[in-house]
Structure 1
């Protein structure tokens, strides 16, 4: 995230430090998402961030979550992540998604060199081509671990058809999670990539010593979400102080409360209990935590508190 009062360069400089801290805490993997035309997030290519973080760490898995197939030639993606996997064996993930990575129509068309939105058939062909190129054209040794991102039954169905592990965007569309999981598990076909259904569930997670502090930390992302509800996607990521002064409508407050109730926000006890409940209810093999809070120190502290509570 590119935070108010900082530069994009500061965000990039934090990338390695954050990866090193999570490796120290014992986390298994970090993924970088592809976004464009967003002041709050920045346009940092996942392949570049993966390479930078991998060179700064020694064990933690790194990769895209996701790189967006409609914006790239399949051979190019295979070459990029195949090279990374050769340089950092058994540490690189290739999470693939479908969206354009932007709400700006002109940016989306520029990314696709003037083409319109991808069709279901085009997306399927692109993902299948990436997998084929990885094996047949660019294999230099250990391959990256492919995942398919899904927030709908269509994405789940494609992951099942191709025999890929699925990363479920519970942090974006939690209301779709039950149907996504049912569609994926019901139709899964084993492949060279995955012998059985394998689910990673992504959860928005903000942990602090007190409920009051957790609410303060989640405030900036609430402002961003409220903007998206009104169709505003070019807002900067505010400070907690700015977020505390933001005037939400009653409708926005209700929508935000409903969303937060399906995520994991609060004290270590509350957050860990919620994460365990989600894992049990969904049967997820792994949870991925996204923690959109202002400040590297506060973000790392959230992960540290969760680790301590899990081990308690």
Structure 2
């Protein structure tokens, strides 16, 4: 059994034919149960204009969950800097950190949170994609505003989200902990983390390289059940491989009948081999190998399964076999 702390990333999947309101309500029970299970962190991802993922603002979910739990750390995983004014982010998360001392994280990422160009431009108030210099400026200004303008104590714990070497380089330059999206770009993980550690510069935020790795994890009693639960997300991923972001999140039964092309099947199998799917023993082995290969200080599990009971069961099974509960 590995002993690294475990966290969770909430992506709030909305199954076709169900209401986003029901998904939103499930987030409360999900947070409470993770708190009981001894998970360290629960982060909320920012998404927009997707039929498969709820557009629930991370700051709102963080505030609600913090009021509904007792020890779990809550935060963004992440808020996307191009969509927000730095001062507003500093005010929002600085206030939350003061209200819930020692429990608030501010994870900042770069992506627009949507593949839909009109939505991305609306979020940016008509501006185009952010440049490297703009992104660096926005992150730096958010951190500065936290200290110099908001100036509440304690401060939230800042993290930089990354799926590339460029993001890892910025985290190293600013002396921030890094949360790496292995669940999105697993082929980049080892190279980017090596770059981060080699170039890390200590800061007031972090004295040494600190690494969290996010991995897609679907755990069930049998491999067949894990594959069934993972099936709907495979359909969404197949759509993304075709450049389509308008694919609804199907029910498992619908996903089981989906006709994947040979190319899609190969790509999905390759991706799945780098994540953690299967029985508790299979998932434990994969998480152990990933933690050892990356030297991760923490692992964060993302389980894109719609049904709350199935999602919670996956997290319960992992909790029984991996890590040390946080109390």
Which TM-score band applies after superposition, normalised by the shorter structure?
over 0.9
Select the residue among 275, 280, 305 that pairs with 1:268: 280
Structure 1 residues without counterparts, runs of 5 or longer: none
The residue matched to 1:276 in structure 2 has which SS?
A: helix
1:54 equivalent in alignment to 2:70: no
Structure-1 separation of matches of 2:279 and 2:78: 29
The residue matched to 2:107 in structure 1 has which SS?
A: strand
* Alpha-carbon offset, residue 199 of structure 1: 0.3
Structure-2 separation of matches of 1:263 and 1:166: 19
Select the residue among 85, 89, 94 that pairs with 2:101: 89
Structure-1 separation of matches of 2:101 and 2:228: 40
Structure-1 separation of matches of 2:81 and 2:126: 15
Structure-1 separation of matches of 2:70 and 2:17: 32
2:127 corresponds in structure 1 to 115
2:248 corresponds in structure 1 to 236
Select the residue among 150, 153, 168 that pairs with 2:180: 168
Select the residue among 170, 175, 190 that pairs with 1:158: 170
* Alpha-carbon offset, residue 5 of structure 1: 2.6
Identify the range of structure 1 (3-12 vs 217-226) with the bigger mean alpha-carbon deviation.
3-12
Contact 2:172-2:201 within 8 A present in 1 as well = yes
Structure-1 separation of matches of 2:263 and 2:107: 34
* Alpha-carbon offset, residue 234 of structure 1: 1.4
The residue matched to 2:322 in structure 1 has which SS?
A: helix
Q: RMSD of aligned C-alpha atoms?
A: 1.0
Select the residue among 290, 296, 303 that pairs with 2:315: 303
Deviations along 1:27-68, one digit per CA (max 9) or x if unpaired, are 000000110110110211100010111111111000000000
Select the residue among 2, 9, 12 that pairs with 2:24: 12
Task: Within 5 Å, give how 1:208-219 maps onto structure 2.
Answer: 208-219=220-231
Contact 2:183-2:214 within 8 A present in 1 as well = yes
Structure-2 separation of matches of 1:43 and 1:234: 14
1:181 corresponds in structure 2 to 193
Aligned residues: 312
Contact 1:208-1:305 within 8 A present in 2 as well = yes
2:75 corresponds in structure 1 to 63
* Alpha-carbon offset, residue 237 of structure 1: 1.0
The residue matched to 1:137 in structure 2 has which SS?
A: helix
Structure 2 CA distance for partners of 1:255 and 1:109, relative to 1, 3 Å: same
* Alpha-carbon offset, residue 311 of structure 1: 7.1
Structure-2 separation of matches of 1:145 and 1:49: 17
* Alpha-carbon offset, residue 4 of structure 1: 1.9
1:106 corresponds in structure 2 to 118
